Homo-oligomer: A and B are copies of this chain.
Amino acid sequence: MTFLGTGTSVGVPVIGCDCAVCRSSDPRNKRLRSSVVYEAGGMSILVDTGPDLRQQALREKLRSIDAVVYTHAHMDHVVGFDELRAFCWHRDEPLPMHATAECMVSLKQMFAWAFSPENRERGYVRPAPHVIDGPIIYQNLTITPLPVLHGAVRTIGFLFEFPQARSLAYIPDVKQIPDETLLRIHGVDVLVIDALRNSPHPTHFSLTDALAVIELVGSSEAYLTHMSHEFDFVELSARLPRGVNVAYDGLKLHL
């Protein structure tokens, strides 16, 4: 899995900010909006289409994807939808997009032309929408939605399971994890989790929240993501427990 972005909704550096992290030249302190691509068995699954999708795709030389799965319809996770054009040009079939019913309504409202039956132009995004109502199966890959609480908008993370690979749960936006989801990810090999900043936030995990959940879940390897400019990569890395890591844009996990 490749981290396309590990930042908050405004990214790091923040426009107009002079803090040490925003001025840092360490590339691991440059955080585009959170997104990952999961690759297994010849399939590439893109999680979310944030505003930086073009930059991310060019950086990672991403040329084709087989499906998009959405966590929720906040701007920093959907607004790069139109960049998917480049991934539709070379396909004969529409591009599968998986989202909760609520998220799909938002996508259809924001990008109505793409979902219109009149959208037959080869140049545009051609979606094959699928409302998530259980695990998403692509050949041997199972992607299980993980409902979480994240403010007013219905939000999910995803559990990726593939034979002979370590399991991975990706939960970039969360304020509270319901018991059912906690049980579902208990013992997952790798946990990627929201850690917005040091102090509590009304809709996101703080660092303290993230560390508590990592311990509760019992993963041997964990990565923090969706981080603000409060966190310097080196400084934060030095004060994390064993097995907990700061993710950064471009980081690749071999599962």
User: Which A residues lie at the B interface, using CB under 8 A?
Assistant: 9-11, 13-16, 51-52, 54-55, 57-58, 62-64, 75-76, 79-80, 82-83, 85-87, 89-90, 109-110
Contacts and interface: CB of A to CB of B under 8 A. Distances in A.
A86 B54 contact: no
B54 A87 contact: no
A229 to B, nearest CB: 12
A86 B10 contact: yes
Q: Is chain A's binding surface mostly helix, strand, loop or mixed?
A: loop
B51 A83 contact: yes
Nearest to A14: B86
Given A51-B80, A79-B79, A85 B10 contact: yes
Contacts of A62: 15
Contact of A51 (B16, B54, B64, B90): B54
| Of listed A11, A54, A83, residue having the most chain B CB within 10 A | A54
Top 6 closest pairs, chain A to chain B, by CB: A15-B86, A16-B63, A75-B82, A15-B57, A79-B79, A16-B86
Given A16-B89, A51-B54, A52-B54, 11 more contacts: A10-B54, A14-B86, A15-B83, A15-B86, A16-B64, A16-B86, A16-B90, A51-B83, A55-B55, A79-B79, A109-B109
